[in-house]
Amino acid sequence: MKLTIIGCSGSFPGPHSSASCYLVSQEYQGRTWRIALDLGSGALGPLQRHIALEDLDAVCLSHLHPDHYMDLTGLHIAVKWRPGGWPAARIPVHGPAGTDVRIAAAHGIDPIPGMHPEFEFHDWTPERPTTIGPFTVTPITVRHPVEEPYALRIEAPAEQGGTRVLTYSGDTDSCPGLVEAARGSDVFLCEAAYQDGRDDEIEGIHLNGDRAGAAAAEADVGRLLLTHLPAWTDAQVVREHAARRYSGNIAVAADGVTYQI
């Protein structure tokens, strides 16, 4: 399983990265399967540096804040208006209940038929796994001020046998669901939007380095990959504070980098 960082800027696109989008790929049954975890503001452009849009097998949304789903509007245009027609089937979009209505409203179209002719919408059920090719994706409820915020646990078979696990935190503050989702993961892709020592009094919205590190340590993950840092958050400060709580491998996600899981 491979993880490619398409966009990792927190809350809005930054000068060096779009908002949240992560491409996960895996060879399986003679072809490469590809899913996008979130498709936030500005992500559709850099996604095309890595894959043709028609090769996308599914979009999996953690929650419905614009920096995590808004570029579905651009993907809809690409599917609907491509000269010669779209060569693939409707793109599955897995997300919180009402994703179809929200994205239609964002695009200014009637929800019926909305984007249903182009996308195949599926509502998450908490802790119920969904299979997409080689991937098993399990949404687990976390703590963020929006309806149905999820962390996503992605499992896929490893070439040498067994299973590899990637957990994506989505947006969250500390909570039991986050640790449950990350438990034993090989890679924990975890948001840390707040800067330690500057945003410590803000609770219930995002993690800082300290809280991200604590979650990684409690979940006993193999590697912590910090993401969703806004342009005004100092990555070095966040990383240093995460390392005080988690003694394993820590890195800060960088746009365009691919990680082997």
Q: How many CB atoms lie within 10 A of CB 35?
A: 23
The mean pLDDT of 40-52, rounded to a whole number, is: 98
Whole-number percent of the chain with pLDDT over 90: 98
Domains and CATH numbers, the chain: 2-260 (3.60.15.10)
* Two structure tokens written together for 150: 């999820």
CA distance 72 to 124: 17
The mean pLDDT of 152-171, rounded to a whole number, is: 95
CA distance 158 to 156: 6
- 111-122 per-position pLDDT tens digit: 999 999 999 999
What local confidence, expressed as pLDDT, does residue 152 receive?
Answer: 99
Alpha-carbon separation of residue 167 from 14, 206, 215 (angstroms): 24, 16, 12
- 69-108 per-position pLDDT tens digit: 999 999 999 999 999 999 989 999 999 999 999 999 999 9
What local confidence, expressed as pLDDT, does residue 25 receive?
Answer: 98
What local confidence, expressed as pLDDT, does residue 142 receive?
Answer: 98
CA distance 110 to 241: 47
112 burial (CB, 10 Å; 0-12 / 13-18 / 19+) is exposed
DSSP string computed for 147-175: SS-EEEEEEEE-TTSSEEEEEE--S-BS-
- 167-181 per-position pLDDT tens digit: 999 999 999 999 999
* Two structure tokens written together for 8: 């990792």
What local confidence, expressed as pLDDT, does residue 150 receive?
Answer: 98
- 187-220 per-position pLDDT tens digit: 999 999 999 999 999 999 999 999 999 999 999 9
CA distance 208 to 213: 9
The mean pLDDT of 20-38, rounded to a whole number, is: 97
Long-range contacts of 98-105 (CB under 8 A, 24+ apart): 98/64, 98/147, 99/61, 99/64, 99/69, 99/123, 102/64, 102/69, 103/69, 103/72, 103/73, 103/76
What local confidence, expressed as pLDDT, does residue 159 receive?
Answer: 80
Mean pLDDT of all residues in the chain?
Answer: 97
| In the predicted structure, residue 160 carries a pLDDT above the cut 90 | no
| In the predicted structure, residue 44 carries a pLDDT above the cut 90 | yes
End-to-end CA distance of the chain: 5
